[in-house]
Amino acid sequence: MSAGPGSRPESINRTEMLRSNFSTILHHIREHGPTSRSALAHMTGLNKATISRLVDKLIQMQLVHEIGEDRSEGRGRRAVLLEINPAGGFTVSAEIGVGFIVVVCADLSAQILWRRQEDTRHLESPEAVLERLAQLIRKATQFGFTRFSRFMGLAIGMPGVVDSADGTLLFAPNLGWRGVPVGRLLRVGFQYPVFVDNEANLAALGEYYYGAARGHEQILYISAGIGVGGGLVQEGHLVTGASGFAGEFGHMTIDPKGRRCNCGNRGCWETQASQAALFRRIREEISSGAPSLLVDLTQGNLDNLTVELAIEAAERGDPVAVEAFRQVGAALGIGIASLINAFNPDLVVFGGSLSAAKSLIFPALKHEVQERVLPYLGDVAHLVCAENGKDNCVLGGIARVCQWVIQNPLRAGAEKALDATDEEPTSVWRDLGTR
């Protein structure tokens, strides 16, 4: 028998249609806002009456708000402009890095309102790092509830191979972690949407929505720091691959007989194009007797070497530092050219700690790209530096939560405020024995 009027399947279909329409409107406001109701009708194909009714509902849900009249229009009745309501709720985003953690609280416009960064080099285990992370997340949520009534979700970025479906960090060679169920532990301790992903993937999203890649549809993001990683974004969505692990560009084999990588293989790209490669080249040259300002800048201890000190030395004309940056730039260019040939992006965004040395790295990098990229592809792909600096991962986490809000407006708009006074779930962080 066919389902009759008022049946559950019909109700589900109506709910899904409503969700889809809300989502479409929110997407267009985010991409093109501030925008008007009439413009939304034109972009979505929905009639003006439907748009008006749906927008009014989104305003009631506090996901959208009016920000005044469109002053660009001529005389007569001016359209009222709409944008995503920054005060509609708050997000928390975190990054677990090599030797540090960062946690931020932001509104729905990605304005960071609270930020904490801590050194974790003294913490000897994943358990200890995650315990401290949980404490900072709790502090961030407590701050959020002092200003907002609704918590929209949490996102965490980490270096390494992450199963984004369940939030398990499968393998992070530069952290030395393997099989840590970060997402499961977070979901037990905090009852709200939780997203866990590779840090470079989130950084790519951050640059797409809030940084150098705004207005581009096919972007390749490369992060060069302690390791090398990246992400590919197509029309606002990460390309994750069949198993969700796409973007581990740093482990492309550049030299089969090259140096041993932390992942266990030989000749990976990051053995030649990372912060570690830069430091190794500097130390080798100084050890062989080459004079360098970095001996004095590090007070005779090259263990104190930093990217900032290497940049200072290079800018003062130090030949060791200048040549090390040139070699790393050339290695980066070789790999980026291969990725341009493979993916044909319209923009390449270069980020990570080495992006601070743009002026020292880019000449050699661009030379290799120009020499190695296929004809026509190089004319399409423009190379720029990331705009978000050290916050590009956490901004990407905010973007990931906002994506969920836009895709699930009925759930996000109806979320009950969580009780910020709940007991801190410290016990769950100590129980990592099931990983």
Q: What is the CATH number of the domain that holds 80?
A: 1.10.10.10
* Closest among 336, 286, 279, 339 to 311, alpha carbons compared: 279
Which residue type occupies 417? Answer: A
In degrees to the nearest 10, what's the CA dihedral of 392, 397, 398, 401?
160
The SS3 assignment for 383 reads strand
> CA angle 348-350-353, nearest 5°?
170
Same-domain check for residues 41 and 130: no
CATH number at residue 290: 3.30.420.40
| Torsion sign (Cα): 205, 212, 358, 294 | negative
> CA angle 225-92-419, nearest 5°?
155
Same-domain check for residues 231 and 133: no
Same-domain check for residues 373 and 294: yes
How confident is the model at residue 86, as a pLDDT? 96
Would residue 422 count as lying in a domain? Answer: no
Would residue 277 count as lying in a domain? Answer: yes
How confident is the model at residue 316, as a pLDDT? 97
Contact 137, 422 (CB under 8 A): no
Measured in degrees and rounded to the nearest 5, phi and psi for residue 112 equal: -80, 120
Same-domain check for residues 271 and 380: yes
Same-domain check for residues 310 and 267: yes
How confident is the model at residue 376, as a pLDDT? 77
Same-domain check for residues 239 and 379: yes
Contact 118, 100 (CB under 8 A): yes
How confident is the model at residue 9, as a pLDDT? 61
Residue ending a domain, among 69, 84, 99, is 84
Same-domain check for residues 198 and 77: no
**Which residues on adjacent β-strands are paired with residue 169?**
162, 180
Same-domain check for residues 226 and 152: no
Same-domain check for residues 271 and 350: yes
Would residue 241 count as lying in a domain? Answer: yes
How confident is the model at residue 39, as a pLDDT? 93
Please, is 72 exposed, middle or buried when counting C-beta atoms within 10 Å of its C-beta (0-12, 13-18, 19+)? exposed
What gap in Å lies between CA 144 and CA 150, rounded to an integer? Answer: 8
How confident is the model at residue 2, as a pLDDT? 45
How many domains does the chain divide into? 3
Would residue 419 count as lying in a domain? Answer: no
Write the Ramachandran bin of 76: left for phi over 0, alpha for psi from -120 to 50, otherwise beta: left
Would residue 304 count as lying in a domain? Answer: yes
Would residue 430 count as lying in a domain? Answer: no
Same-domain check for residues 193 and 262: no
How confident is the model at residue 205, as a pLDDT? 95
Cα–chain center distance at 251: 19
What gap in Å lies between CA 21 and CA 391, rounded to an integer? Answer: 32
* Closest among 309, 179, 46, 268 to 171, alpha carbons compared: 179
| Residue 150: domain span | 88-205+391-413
Q: Which portions of the chain are predicted below pLDDT 70?
A: 1-12, 71-77, 188-191, 378, 380, 414-435
Would residue 3 count as lying in a domain? Answer: no
How confident is the model at residue 11, as a pLDDT? 60
How far is the CA of 389 from the CAs of 1, 211, 225, 317, 354, in angstroms? 60, 9, 12, 25, 10
What gap in Å lies between CA 421 and CA 416, rounded to an integer? Answer: 14
- Strands (E) in 321-393, as ranges, are 347-351, 382-385
Would residue 263 count as lying in a domain? Answer: yes
Same-domain check for residues 78 and 97: no
Tokens of 354: 């080495």
Same-domain check for residues 382 and 276: yes
> Whole-prediction pTM value?
0.87
Residue ending a domain, among 84, 104, 133, is 84
